[in-house]
A and B are shown apart, each in its own frame.
Chain A
Amino acid sequence: MSSIMVVMRRECGAYFRTPIAWIFIALQMAIMSFFFFQYSPFFIIESADMRVWFGLTPFILMVFAPAVTMRLWSDEIRTGSTEVLLSLPVRSRDLVIGKWLAAVIVLLGSVVASFGIPATLGWLASSVVDWGPIIGGYIGTVLAGMMFLALGCWVSALSSNQVVSMLLGVAVGIMLVLALSPDFASYISSSQPTLARVIESLGVQSHFQAIERGVLALSDVVYFLSGTALFLTLCVFQVELKKQ
């Protein structure tokens, strides 16, 4: 455990002592706020909820999570520091989890930075805001974020080029969010009902949307945790492969 914490602290330092994490969080906030206040009809619909915000979240995570994690392994591989790192008396698993946890802290930072939105809702609402779906949305953001960061960790370990890692991460993210979307499943549901059900159960959106509606279902939580576990395991495998 202590080795995970050491790795995590080191990576956190790399994120927060340099402008990387700050730029990511600020950029994410600016883009999402732009879509929330300017592009969506927030002040026309006049509904004191964050559905538009959370509706954007999977798409933002799909791009930002690989961007946050692209340097985690690619940079090490490029500079050759992986060999030093892997020669240390630390298990690959601890290295992977430590790095991933540091990225999760960046995600939590972005979640905290978005608390201005619920504060705004509380300020502008005509009556009591239903906080349940908002809390659900944040739980969903953290769960989906954890999975996308695990995916980012894995693809980062695949290549020494950060841009390639990021593009690969975005590509897998697009598949999880867009290709396996409920809309696509609905499109093929009349001709291929079984495939539609499989697609819907594999896609991020159907699980995320259920949580952000304010329904925390065990199956959705298990889905995100399973995805996280799978991608972290693949990352450990990739790192172990480099050790060989």
Chain B
Amino acid sequence: MIERKKQFLIQWIASIAVLVVLLVLVNGVARKFDQRLDLTAAGIHTISPETGKILSRLQEPVTLEYWVSERLPSGLQNLRRDTVDYLDEFQRAAAEAGGRVEVKVIDPARVIEQYVKEQSEDGEEKEPDPMAAFMGGPTSPADTKKQELAQQGIPELQGRSVKEDGIEVVPFYSAIVLKYLDRESEGIPVHTTLEGLEYELVSRIAKLTLESKPVLAFFQGRPEDVITQGPDGTPLPAPMSHFDPLLDALGERFEIRKVELTEESLVPDDAQLLIIAEPNGTTPRQRFEIENSIRSGRPVLILASTTSGSMDRGFQLTPLSPGMSESFGPWGIDIQPNMIVSSQSQCGSIETVTEGPLGLRMRVPQPFPVCPGSAGNNLDRTSPFTRGVQAIIFPYASPLIVNQEVAKAAGIEITTLASSDGDAWLTPFGPSVTGAMVTPPKDPALQKNRVLALVAEGKFPATFAAGSKVPSWDPTLEITGGEEDAPLVQETESKESRILLVASADMAKYTSLSMYRQNVGFLMGSIEALALDPDLAKIRGKVQISSSLRETTREERSIATYGNLVGVPLLLAVIYGLMSASRRSASRHHEAMYMLKVPAEGDDEKEGR
């Protein structure tokens, strides 16, 4: 008996050992040949094939350092794990594509701790300097290291953690630093979401590995009045142009070349993108050059409207004439010579002078009327141009009219990127605030969504007939039929290109960008999406559906909470109660039936009697 049991035990232990070995092997194989199914709607955990393509061009390994604290604030608790997983996946995708990416996860607290330890071992520990603290400088070795890290693009951040008795401020780190060869490192100093991380990483890797910056051509259609001399004749420094802050910001990423679209200053051949800001009175030759640029496959960003505004000396409006309609018309686009008024304008208020009681003139604040915005469902947030943008403000915007039939016939696909809210109406130009800008029209049908930004894609047909004369650089000669020896327009095949048309010339000006910060993100993002590698644009277009809760009432929150917390358990209790009652009733019924069927004791005897 004991022998049998012993044999049984040996057999079983051996079987279990074999099973364990088998399971370890199976797990190892599954890990090695892992297959993943990304269940998220946008596939955010999957590295795009476009990324693989870009990473395959890496000659040397790129190092990704993820500097992250052990303790993160509420709402970011999954960030560390998700990012580490994502970076591992990124590394795997790079390896599959033939590129080399190394991932390092570093806890800044340990680095700081190590630094402090080394300092104390070296005997360099100093007494806290109260003066340094007063001047905002480092007061301890830990502070010195923190400042050093911040200079490397790894700043200490602050978040909030919800505690039982309130909210606690939590200092933390979450930054990604990319290193390639001996080049200056690139970084994401504040990394708090996986959304768009693929693009952020790949675009930085692309930048790190580029030999030179991509070129942007910038054409300002309405030159500014520049005073070069003071009243006493002394030369004055060149004033800042309206668009200089935007160009300065773009300068970090691109090489900006200003062009005037004259015979001497044409669009450079190596320009990746042409930006046309505030076109006004565009000459036929300039239009010809712009059209050629588009048809050569170079994407174009056009910031055009029929009005420009200024608040410098009160509320003033200036009419503009973009002069692009002869090209846009055959492509199915028109810029109407009106302004869009929105009662839901989020641009603050202006003061207008109105007649008050006793004929007194009074300054009355009015909502800034000609400043439509686009947000929510009016903004296509799935587009690479608007990724991560919550709202865009279009000051002094003109409505864009799209004729899809004409566009389709021309082989152009037009997509609306942003439109105004549904109660926007149009008003003709006025030099200042008019009644039509403040009072909505009586006919409600005149209030509707107006297109504020669009993307046109395709092979744009030429609007200058082949064989006709190329317009002269001197527009006055065009009135008399142009130059006699002007070259003829050659028939050329158009390449695939894109136009991003924004119906506000002022939105990219410094005054607007400083007031409406959301426009900076839109402009920078869309310029990147237009100018960079088409593969990068595709990656940029990958967005996660991050649904948030709508505004809820106290009652709705109570229903949600107590419906699940109390309602479901109560429902289960009721179901169980009903089932038990039904069983009891069935059992009583059976019992009753049994009592009826089974004869009572002694009945047989009575019957047999």
Contact = CB atoms under 8 A, between A and B. Distances in A.
Interface of A: 16-17, 19, 22, 25-27, 29-30, 33-34, 36-38, 41, 43-49, 51, 55, 113-114, 116-117, 120-121, 123-133, 135-136, 182-183, 186, 190, 201, 209-210, 213-219, 221-223, 226, 229-230, 233-234, 237, 240-241, 244
A47 B177 CA distance: 28
A37 B550 contact: no
B162 A240 contact: no
B85 A210 contact: yes
Interface of B is mostly: helix
Contacts of B544: 130
A46 B4 CA distance: 64
Contact of B39 (A47, A120, A126, A135): A135
B561 A33 contact: yes
Contacts, number: 177
B549 A43 contact: yes
A46 B546 CA distance: 11
A123 B559 CA distance: 11
B565 A226 contact: no
Contacts of A25: 572
Nearest to A230: B23
A49 to B, nearest CB: 8
Contact of B561 (A37, A51, A190, A218): A37
B568 A124 contact: no
B180 to A, nearest CB: 25
Interface string B60-96: 0000000000100011001001100100000000000
A187 to B, nearest CB: 8
Nearest to B24: A226
Contacts of A215: 36-39, 45, 85
B547 A22 contact: no
B227 interface: no
A221 B70 CA distance: 28
A43 B8 contact: no
Contacts of A38: 561, 565
B545 interface: yes
Contacts of B81: 182, 209
Nearest to A48: B547
Interface stretch (B12-20, B249-257, B402-410, B444-452): B12-20
B583 interface: yes
A183 B77 CA distance: 12
Given A223-B27, A237-B12, A45 B568 contact: no
B26 interface: yes
6 contacts: A17-B579, A30-B569, A126-B549, A136-B39, A186-B105, A213-B85
Contact of B20 (A44, A186, A210, A230): A230
Contacts of B575: 22
A46 B576 contact: no
Contacts of B552: 43, 124
A130 B568 contact: no
Contact of B35 (A49, A55, A218, A237): A218
